[in-house]
Chain A
């Protein structure tokens, strides 16, 4: 089935540093979604990208969808301790309605 691979698995940064996580697929994706899961919490939807080359911003978060629609990235500028958690990308599954989640990137921020 379709898979999305995420790198890195873990990232430790000093507060104020930037952070980027990458999501890659071997096949073209019709859309890509990003979720955040705080420690001990549940995944929460952040954003969806649909168009080739699309860039969306949410305050310090910048989401990009590649031109070929095979990769995506999430960039956080000047991380804060509130950014800690695991960030997942999700692509559409092989059957309608299903999604395929990446394994996530866990971000820790040292104050």
Chain B
């Protein structure tokens, strides 16, 4: 039972390059999330998926796209990376509705030069 896994752990991109961050969970959760965390700051929600086939914008969706491939997997794509997207990206999953704790993956540390 691995919980939430993310790949890659580290990535360096040049401005304008694209990449996809992968996330998978094995807890049979319906809800999955992508957050970004900038140095010394809190967690800002990028996108959210309540179930397979549905996605919803969070607080900071610009410059990102997501795909809920199946119940287990939720990917985040940067089509044209910008230095402002340098951050740590966390994927999380939770049970349905309000009041369920979120389980976070180990994060992807992305630098855009």
Spell out A's residues near B (CB within 8 Å). Answer: 1, 30-31, 33, 35, 41-45, 48, 50, 88, 90, 92, 95-99, 101-104, 106
Residues of B within 8 A of A30 (CB): 98-99
Residues 81-109 of B contacting A (Cβ, < 8 Å): 90, 92, 94, 96-107
Please determine whether B94 and A97 come into contact, CB atoms closer than 8 angstroms: yes
A48 in contact with B40 given A95-B56, A97-B48 (CB within 8 Å): no
Residues of B in contact, count (CB < 8 Å): 27
What is the predominant secondary structure among interface residues of chain B facing chain A?
loop
Residues of B within 8 A of A97 (CB): 31, 48, 50, 94, 96-98, 100
Among candidates A42, A103, A104, residue contacting B106 with C-beta atoms closer than 8 Å: A42
Please determine whether B42 and A45 come into contact, CB atoms closer than 8 angstroms: no
**Which of chain A's residues has its CB closest to B100's CB?**
A97
Complex: how many Å from CA A45 to CA B92? 11
